[in-house]
Every structure is written in C-alpha cells, then in structure tokens.
C-alpha cells in the first residue's frame, strides 16, 4: 500500500517511524510547508516525492491512503479533499476546531464510504487498552477519571521546541484526547458538561489554563485540568478510579493506586501508541471495515467540545 504523509513536522516524523514498521506499506510522498526542510525529511526516510501542496500527492495515482499531520485549522478541508479524490485518510487529532467542520467531514465520509480515521492515540496506548479490556470483560467499572494535561508553552512552539506557524488549543486539541477517552472507556454519553478558563494570553490569544467537568448518563464523572503554564512535569496523567481498583496511566506506563507497576508489554504487538494507531488505519483499509477512532466513533467527543465552547462564548 502506497501512502502519502502531509505535514513533516514533529508529529509527522513519528508517523513515518511507525509506518515503516508495517509490512507492505510504503510512504511515497511527503508534503510540507517549507520545501527545503521537507526534502531533508524525505532524504532521511528514502521518500521519492517531495512537495508543498496536498494536491501534488493526490495527483500520484498509486497513492491509496493519506496521513494528515498539518495544522488543526487545515484538517477538515484537507480530509474532505482527500476523500473527494478517492483516498482513505487518517487525520491527526483534532478532526477540526469547529462543530460545523466536523459535521462536514462526517457527511463526505458517508457519501464516499472511504476510511476516515482520527488520531485519537489514547484509544491505542497499551496502558489504556489494558483498562479497556478489563471494562469490556466486566471486571470493573469506572466511577471517575481524573486527568491532568500539563505543558509549558507560553510561546508558539511545537513539541520539538521549534517555532510554530499556527496556534495550538487546549480545548479542541488537548481536551479532545480525554473527552473522547472518557466516553470510550465508560461506553456512555456525556449529559452534563462544564468549563472554566483562565486569562487570555496577550500574544497567543488563547487561555493557557482550563478546567472541565463531565458527567455521563449513569453518573460517571471526568475531572480534567489543562495548562500551558505548568513548568514540569510535562505530559498527561490519567487516574482511573473504578469500583474494583484504581489505575494511573502515564503514556504507555501503568501503575495501580499504590504505584506498583503493571506489565502492559503483552497487551498489543507494540508499546508505541502511534504505531498501533497506524496499524489500525492500514488494517481497516485492507479489511474493508470501520476503524477504531473512525470519524463516526469520535464525533460525540467533538459535540461535547462544541457545547463547552458555546458555554465559554456565553460567559464572555
């Protein structure tokens, strides 16, 4: 299967590392905003075609699937462009930064029947899979999820510390991970949603601190704290408070409530959540089925984000 990668930045290279581990997959085109920097990435990974516009990759007949790692504001338009060109597409999280755009992507996916998957990596991390497997087996039920998403980003930089051409967002990007995971793990719909945000940063134009509360139909709750102001430790930390046990997930590491390590190395074929995500994308295309984290499956997350955004607008 020949694949094109669009967006050769910090996250794009993570996908390139993952895709090369999947048998029968070849990345034949890489597209980036800056030609010289993109050429360096292409040389490193042995990719033949380099360009600066998505349409250049879509013009290659053999390209069957596209992975989008571009700025958030481009995701919906580019996903639609890929599907209308007859290509399966994986869109990095978030799907979009507005409910209208999310609905537009869903509409085109239904019309084309192509695979449209969104990069909700937490569904694939072995630590979260371990908990999910126990839930589906009926061994435990979540009562509360307590999540902290903390970064130190008072300047517009990416994960590599390099200048970014767009502004990241706590609600539509980082909260999306936890809001989706909460509904995925509980298997329930959110019926109550509350949000507070801190002061707007004078340069970035966004709030650097945010607090979110969610509740499902049966009373399960999520408490989510997010910050770009936190100066270490960095990352997202999940506490699952269940009826039978407590777990804490830190990326691919999992411990119980007493900080005793749990071996999750055998949960899946890899410990790399991005690789597992890419494997699911490729497998769903080959098998002609809907993938985990398809646009349809993650759409409820974006509906909640929209409701939270509307709350903030009403307060302001």
Q: Has residue 164 got a pLDDT over 90?
A: no
Residues 32 and 106 in one domain: yes
Whether this prediction's pTM lies above 0.85 is answered by yes
Answer yes or no: do 19 and 152 share one domain.
no
Q: Pick the range with the lowest mean pLDDT from 9-18, 37-46, 149-158, 259-268.
A: 149-158
Identify whether residues 222 and 184 lie together within a single domain.
Answer: yes
pLDDT of residue 99: 98
What's the pLDDT tens digit per position in 60-117? Answer: 999 999 999 999 999 999 999 999 999 999 999 999 999 999 999 999 999 999 999 9
* CATH code, 169: 3.30.360.10
Number of structural domains (the chain) is 2
Question: Encoding tokens for residue 92?
Answer: 């990095």
Predicted local distance difference test score (pLDDT) of residue 251: 81
DSSP H helices in the chain: 10-19, 35-45, 54-58, 75-84, 99-112, 126-136, 175-186, 273-287, 295-315
Domain that holds residue 240: 122-272+301-315
Check whether residue 144 and residue 217 sit in a common domain.
yes
State both tokens at 288.
Answer: 């002609």
167 and 311, same domain (yes or no): yes
Residue 195 DSSP SS3: strand
pLDDT value, residue 160: 62
Average pLDDT, the chain: 95
Which element (helix H / strand E) includes 68? strand 63-68
Give the C-alpha separation, 93 to 141, whole Å: 27
pLDDT over threshold 90, residue 221: yes
Is residue 129 located within the same domain as residue 249?
A: yes
pLDDT tens-digit map of 236-270: 999 999 999 999 999 889 999 999 999 999 999 99
Same domain, 263 and 283: no
Q: What is the pLDDT of residue 91?
A: 98
Q: Above pLDDT 90, what percent of the chain?
A: 89
């Amino acid at each position: 299967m020949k694949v094109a990668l669009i967006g050769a930045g910090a996250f794009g290279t993570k996908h390139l590392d993952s895709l090369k581990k999947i048998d029968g997959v070849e990345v034949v085109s890489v597209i980036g905003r800056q030609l010289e920097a993109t050429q360096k990435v292409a040389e490193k990974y042995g990719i033949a075609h380099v360009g600066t516009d998505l349409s250049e990759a879509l013009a290659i007949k053999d390209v069957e699937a596209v992975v989008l790692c571009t700025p958030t504001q481009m995701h919906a338009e580019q996903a639609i462009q890929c599907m209308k060109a007859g290509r399966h597409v994986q869109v990095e999280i978030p799907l979009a930064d507005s409910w209208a755009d999310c609905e537009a992507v869903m509409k085109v996916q239904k019309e084309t029947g192509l695979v449209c998957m969104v990069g909700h990596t937490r569904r694939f991390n072995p630590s979260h899979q371990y908990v999910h497997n126990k839930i589906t087996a009926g061994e435990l039920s979540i009562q509360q999820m307590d999540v902290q998403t903390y970064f130190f980003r008072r300047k517009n930089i990416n994960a590599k510390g390099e200048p970014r051409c767009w502004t990241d967002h706590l609600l539509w990007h980082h909260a999306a991970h936890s809001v989706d995971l909460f509904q995925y793990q509980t298997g329930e719909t959110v019926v109550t949603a509350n949000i507070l945000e801190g002061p707007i940063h004078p340069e970035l134009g966004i709030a650097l601190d945010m607090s979110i509360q969610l509740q499902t139909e049966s009373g399960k709750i999520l408490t989510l704290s997010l910050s770009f102001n936190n100066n270490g430790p960095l990352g997202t930390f999940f506490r699952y408070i269940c009826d039978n046990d407590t777990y804490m997930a830190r990326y691919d590491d999992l411990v119980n409530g007493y900080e005793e390590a749990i071996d999750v190395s055998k949960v899946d074929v890899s410990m790399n959540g991005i690789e597992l995500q890419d494997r699911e994308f490729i497998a769903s295309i080959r098998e002609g089925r809907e993938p985990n984290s398809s646009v349809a499956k993650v759409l409820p997350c974006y509906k909640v984000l929209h409701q939270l955004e509307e709350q903030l607008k009403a307060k302001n």
